[in-house]
Every structure is written in structure tokens, then in C-alpha cells.
Chains A and B, each alone.
Chain A
Amino acid sequence: MILVILPYSTVLPLSNTARLYAVCALRDSILKSLLAAAHGLSDEQKEFQKMAFDFAANEMSPHMAEWDEKEIFPVETMRKAAQLGFGGIYVQPEVGGSGLSRLDTSVIFEALSTGCVSTTAYLSIHNMCNWMIDTFGNTEQREKYCPELCMMDKFASYCLTEPGSGSDAASLLTTAKLEGDHYVLNGSKAFISGGGDTDVYIVMCRTGGKGPKGISCVVVEKDTPGLSFGKKEKKVAASCSLGAAHACVQLARDHLLVRKQFGETLSSNQFLQFKLAEMATKLVASRLLVREAALALQEGRSDAVSLCSMAKLFVTDECFNICNQALQMHGGYGYLKDYAVQQFVRDIRVHQILEGTNEVMRMIIARSLLSESG
């Protein structure tokens, strides 16, 4: 398998071939599993992980750049993923889900995001919407929506954020008023992943008074009269960050072993050796924190919320730094779209913002630490 990115040429060909070599190198290096992604996992988890890595390398990685460039929502690939059980990973089997744990899910998303971070981030949102209906819906709702969402016959979006309410989510203004036998919703949502392409919208809206207690969740289907979509925003997307960072450490390592300057490979440079060591250490630390948070969540531990907030805060920040540093190590080449590293950096920058900004995470953690029962 060819994996050497031309080390001596002064001008790197800006071609699809170079892109392919870079992707193949990524695939090979991921398979070396230097970074202990499989350590501490059960045999089944190792199987899930292996399968997800293979799927990411074969079905996602080769298209990651094109999906980014052409802003494609890769329906066919996601349906393939759904056939393997990725549409409802922690949804109950009786409605078509795979019935796995949060830790299993984290391991899977981490592996998938080495193939494409933003597609995996969407998959995680779809899974969350599916889980919400499975967990909080009644039998009729579960049976109506979950099987289709598990197979990805239908795609879901999570709608909380509005133009006027992001971090202060509880101040949302979209209302749902009961009129006879139906609800009338009024308002607008913003920054909705999959918005316009998806079929089932999980909409948070106000049915009661002010604040969080007045908010309910309404499922809205795509062709509901009165539902319209704005323009697709141009934008530069915790387990997904891990996969990206894992991929970037591998890419950086391979580059250091190949690129020569001042008569030696970059890997002989102590500063870069130390930097790489720090990146790997932070990656492993991040992974442990995510997995611990996932365990806490699935066991219903009292520290689950704080731990998840800590994980989100730490991991998204650290992994972005890892990817950014990996880009830096590539020098000028890191800035070329022929190299995957820049896409990982762009894709995970948003993880420090979405699903609760890292500032909000600090609020949650501080509140927990300073509370009476803390």
C-alpha cells in the first residue's frame, strides 16, 4: 500500500492523487492503533470499534473532502451506516435500535469521526433525537418514529437554538398553543444540523410559563403546513472531537517521519518530539474522560451531568488544540485542502461552541461545585 507523501519535492502536486495518498496514509496509520483506542474495551466493544473504523476508512474517508467542498449531506452513506445499526445505537431493540450503552456509542462515534467529523456529528444528533422519542415518547410515538429513524428511512434534527437564544436556551420564544385537537407553533430556530434536508424535527417550544419548566418538545414532520426553511448557512463540528484528534495525531506522526528539513526527518527534532508526546498524552486523557462520563451517564450516577460537562469542555478544547498543532506540524502543506488535517481542524472548531458552549459547561460545573449538596 502506497503511503509516502513525496518528501523531497519542493512543490507538492495539488492533485487528486496527492489527496488519495494522504487519505490512504491516514487509513494505514489508523490501523496501526498506536494510541490505545482499543485498550480497556470489552471484546464486543473492540468488534464495534473495528467495524466502525473499517466503515469510516472505506465509506467515509475517501469522500470527506468532497462532501465538505460541495456541502453534501451524504444520505446514501448514512443509510449504509443505518443498515449496520448506526441509526439508533442506544435506542431499544424493540423499536429497531441496537440497544447499546453510552460507552459503546462513544467508542463508535470516535471511530466513525476519523472518516468524517461533520457527518458523524450529524449521526450523533440523529441518534439523540431517536433516543429522545424512544425514551420520552409514548408507545404510539415510539412505534411511529423510531423504526424509520433507526433505518434512516427518515432523518431527524434537533431544534433548540433560536436567533435570540443560544446559551440562554431556557429563554426561547417559539410557542406551541393548543387549539382544539392540534398545536400551533410559532417561532424560528437557527443553526439546525440537517435543517432542510431532514424529515423529522424535534422542536423545543414554550407551552407553559417562562423559564425551562415551561418548555415542551414537539415532533414536527417536514411537510407540515407553515414549516419553512431559510438559506443554508455557510459555516466552517465530545466523541467526534476524539476521532478527529486521533486521526490528526496519526497524520502528524506520519508526516514527521517522512518530511525532511535541515538534513533530517522532522521526527529528529526534540521540540516536535515533545509536542507530539504532549498531543498523544492529551488525546489519551481526553478519551479516558469521555469514556468515564459515558459510563457515569449509562449508570445514572449522580455526578453524570458534571462529568459530561467536564468531558465536553476538556475534550473539545484539547482536541481542537491537538488538531491545530498537527496542522502546524505540517507547515505549509497543512494549509492545503489536499491534506485532510485542515478539514479536521475546521470541522471540530465548532465543537467548542455547539451543544452548549464551553463557557456554559463552566457554568454547569461551577454551579455543581458550589451548590449546597456539592
Chain B
Amino acid sequence: MSRVLVGVKRVIDYAVKIRVKPDHSGVVTDGVKHSMNPFCEIAVEEAVKLKEKKLIKEVVAVSCGPTQVTETIRTALAMGCDRGIHVEVSGKDYEAMGPLQISKIFAALAKKEEASLIILGKQAIDDDCNQTGQMTAALLDWPQGTFASEVTIDGEKVKVVREIDGGLETIKISMPAVLTADLRLNTPRYATLPNIMKAKKKKIANMKPADLGVDMVSRVEVLRVDEPPTRLAGVKVETVDDLVAKLRANGTI
């Protein structure tokens, strides 16, 4: 039966106040609280639910990065994934790592593990790229169901309800396929105490991108990171006419 790969990314926790490094090369990550990307939590939850419904056989949690990402894999295991894969990337490669490199890794792993489904979060809350799922599908030449708010497996096909600007779109795609999870797909479970203990015994395999034949060279160079401009004070007006006049004056309309 089917095996599902789920991507879990370790990101700065959503509640942390982000600070830009003094040299503007990036944001401060040392000593800052990190956790699993919220959309990845939703992806894990969906995969585990599919397994509980006995529609898929095995869920493998995958993360790319330095040693610390194993914490994120353990959280996925505690939520119900069967085993983990840690693709070791550190130093400059890790800093430069982006959707292209990740999707190459996932494409290679999908073939190696003979996966029928890859479920990813729609985007990561640190870079907001929203590219990895799409690129992975393209590299594998697999169909994609992105921004999924509902997933139903029907034999060898997957029905996906997608959240789009115009509303909801329903598509039917064949497996193997790539899905990306949107906010309303599900509510991720808390790991239970017994499952956290069981997760200790689950295996996490180690490998390097080179083992998968993936080159990590980035085609993107970050030039500078700045904070958003400070929000300016607003202006109150007395009438609608005043409002329209002001909006015209500052070029908004």
C-alpha cells in the first residue's frame, strides 16, 4: 500500500518578535525559540489521519538542516509519523538553502522511498516562498493539489478542494501526487504523553544531499534584509469628501 512523505520545516516560532541582524545579512536565530512550521503541522496531521483511516500504510517525516531539526522530526513522530529522515545540511549550504534545493531532495527521496504522496505545508512562515510543493511536483512530473482545504483518497485518485482567490476549487488528480496543506485542512493534534514516549523508539535515518545526488548550490543570493518601515501615524478626517480629497492628494486614488 502507500507510503507518504511529509515535509517538516524548523522555523522561528510564530510568536517570537523577529530582529534583523546588525549587519543586515538576515534575522537573529541564535537563542531564539524555534518550532515546527504551522502549515507543516497541518500536513503531518493530514498524513496521520489518512493512516488512521487505513488509506495509507506508512508516514515518513522528512526535514533538511542541521542537528536541531531532529527535534522537529521527533515532534512529527510524536504526532504519529512512523519514522523520520534527517537530511543533513549545515553552515553556508543551510543558510542558502531554498525551495529549489528542498524540492530536489524531496524528488530524490520520493523515488528512493517509492512514495505515493508527498504532503507539504503550503508555505513556510519564515520565507513565505510557497514554491517547494509546486517545484517538487514539477521535478517529478507528478500532479499537484496545492492550498488543500480538504483531501479525499478514492482508490488511485485524490480529490482535493483548493482554497483559491475566487473561492473553492475541486480537482481530481492521480497518485502519485504532491499536496500542500492550507490553514483549514485540519486542526493539528497535541502529541499525547504516551506518543511522545513511543516516538523515542522510532527511527530517524541520516543522510546527506550528496547521497541523494542533489547539488545544494543556490542560484539565489540574499543581498540585504531590512525591517519593514515603521508604521506612520494615521490622520483623521471629518467627512467622506475630505477622505476622498486626501486619498487623491497622496496619489492613492
Name A's B-contacting residues (CB within 8 A): 1, 27-28, 31-33, 43-44, 46-48, 50-51, 54-55, 83-86, 89, 93, 98-100, 108
Determine the chain B residues whose CB is within 8 A of the CB of A27 once the complex forms: 15
Q: Specify which chain B residues have a CB less than 8 angstroms from the CB of A28 in the assembled complex.
A: 15
Partner-contacting stretch, out of B141-149, B162-170, B188-196, B229-237: B188-196
Q: Which residues of B contact A50 (CB under 8 A)?
A: 35, 75
Contacts A31-B15, A31-B16 known; A43 to B193 CB distance under 8 Å? no
A85 in contact with B33 (CB, 8 Å): no
In the complex the two chains form, is B15's CB within 8 Å of A48's CB? no
Can you pick out 8 interface pairs between chain A and chain B where the beta carbons lie within 8 Å of each other?
A31-B33, A43-B71, A43-B200, A47-B196, A47-B199, A51-B196, A86-B193, A93-B194
CB B44 to nearest CB in A, in angstroms, measures: 14
Cα of A338 to Cα of B78 in the assembled complex, Å = 36
Distance in angstroms from A250 CB to nearest chain B CB is 12
The CA-CA distance from A272 to B197 in the complex, in Å, is 42
List chain B residues, Cβ under 8 A from A89: 193
Smallest CB gap from A33: residue in B: B33
B9 on the interface (CB 8 Å rule)?
A: no
B197 touches A44 (CB 8 A): yes
On whether A51 and B15 interact (CB within 8 A), knowing A33-B33, A43-B74, the answer reads no
Whether A44 and B200, one on each chain, are in contact in the complex, defined by CB atoms closer than 8 angstroms, is yes
Partner of B194, one of A31, A32, A54, A85: A85
A32 x B196 contact (CB < 8 A): no
User: Does B33 contact A84, Cβ atoms closer than 8 Å?
Assistant: no
Instruction: Using known A-B contacts A27-B15, A43-B74, A47-B78, determine if residue A98 contacts B190 with beta carbons closer than 8 Å.
Output: no
Complex contact B190–A54 (CB within 8 A): yes
The 3 nearest A-B residue pairs measured at CB: A85-B193, A98-B193, A31-B15
Mask, B69-84, CB within 8 Å of A = 1, is 0010011001000000
Interface residue? B14 (CB, 8 A): yes
B20-78 residues at the A interface, CB under 8 angstroms: 33, 35, 71, 74-75, 78
CB closest chain-B residue, reference A55: B190
Q: For B75, what are the chain A residues with a Cβ–Cβ distance below 8 Å?
A: 47, 50
Q: How far is the CB of A151 from chain B (nearest CB, A)?
A: 12
Decide if B93 is an interface residue (CB 8 Å cutoff).
no
CB proximity of B200 to chain A, nearest CB, Å: 6
**Chain B residues closer than 8 Å to A83, beta-carbon distance:** 192
The reply to whether B74 and A32 contact each other, CB–CB distance below 8 Å, is: no
Interface residues of B, CB < 8 Å — how many?
19
Q: Flag whether B13 is at the interface (Cβ < 8 A).
A: yes
Q: How long is the Cα–Cα vector from A359 to B67 in the complex, in angstroms?
A: 49
Bits for B184-224, please: 1 = Cβ < 8 Å to A, else 0.
00000011111011011000000000000000000000000
**Residues B191 and A32 in contact, CB atoms below 8 Å apart:** no
CA distance A31 to B199 in the complex (A): 23
Q: Could you tell me if A47 and B74 are in contact, using CB atoms closer than 8 angstroms?
A: yes
Chain B residues within an 8 Å CB radius of A46:
71
Q: How far is the CB of B238 from chain A (nearest CB, A)?
A: 23
- A98 near B197 with CB under 8 A, answer yes
Query: Which residue on B lies nearest to A84, using beta carbons?
Result: B192
Bound CA–CA A32/B15 (angstroms): 8
Q: Which chain A positions have C-beta within 8 A of B192?
A: 83-85
Cα A93 to Cα B74 in complex, Å, equals: 22
* Chain B residue, CB-CB nearest to A87: B193
Q: What is the CA–CA distance of A63 and B200 in the complex, to the nearest angstrom? A: 33
Taking the nearest CB of chain A, how far is it from the CB of B159, in angstroms? 30
Instruction: List the A residue with the shortest CB-CB distance to B196.
Output: A47
- Known contacts A32-B33, A54-B190, A84-B190; is-contact A44 B196 (Cβ 8 Å): yes
Contact B74 A51 (CB under 8 A): no
Which one of A33, A48, A55, A86 contacts B196 once the chains associate, using CB atoms below 8 Å? Answer: A48
Write the nearest CB–CB distance from B49 to chain A, whole angstroms.
16
Quote the shortest CB–CB distance from A254 to chain B (angstroms).
11
What is the bound-complex CA distance between A48 and B197, given in angstroms?
A: 9
- Bound-complex Cα distance A47 to B197 (A): 9
Q: How far is the CB of B8 from chain A (nearest CB, A)?
A: 14
Within 8 Å CB of B200, what residues of A? 43-44
Task: Please measure, in the bound complex, the distance between the C-alpha atom of A89 and the C-alpha atom of B15, giving whole angstroms.
Answer: 29
Which residues of the other chain, A, contact B15 by a CB distance below 8 angstroms?
1, 27-28, 31-32
For A31, list chain B residues within 8 Å (CB). Answer: 13, 15-16, 33
Q: Which residues of A contact B33 (CB under 8 A)?
A: 31-33
In the assembled complex, the Cα of A51 lies from the Cα of B71 at a distance in Å of: 13
Cβ distance B70 to chain A, nearest Cβ, rounded Å: 9
For the complex formed, measure the closest distance between the CB of B90 and the CB atoms of chain A, giving whole angstroms. 19
Whether A98 touches B16, Cβ cut-off 8 Å, given contacts A31-B33, A44-B200, is: no
Whole-angstrom distance between the alpha carbons of A33 and B78 in the complex? 22
Residues of B within 8 Å of A86, CB to CB, are 193
Known: A47-B78, A51-B190. A1 touches B196 (CB 8 A): no
Bound form: Cα–Cα A43–B71 in Å: 8
In the complex the two chains form, what is the Cα distance from A43 to B191 in whole Å?
14
A1 touching B14 in the complex, CB below 8 Å, given contacts A31-B33, A33-B33, A43-B74: yes
Residues of A near B197 (CB, < 8 A) are 44, 98-100
User: With a CB–CB cut-off of 8 A, which chain A residues contact B194?
Assistant: 85, 93, 98
The smallest C-beta distance from A233 to any residue of chain B, in angstroms, reads: 33
Q: From A104, which residue of chain B is reached at the shortest CB distance?
A: B193
Find chain A residues with CB under 8 A from B35 CB.
Answer: 50
B191 surroundings in chain A (CB, below 8 A): 47, 51, 84
**Given the complex, which residues of A lie within 8 Å of B190, measured CB to CB?**
51, 54-55, 84
CA distance A201 to B16 in the complex (A): 44
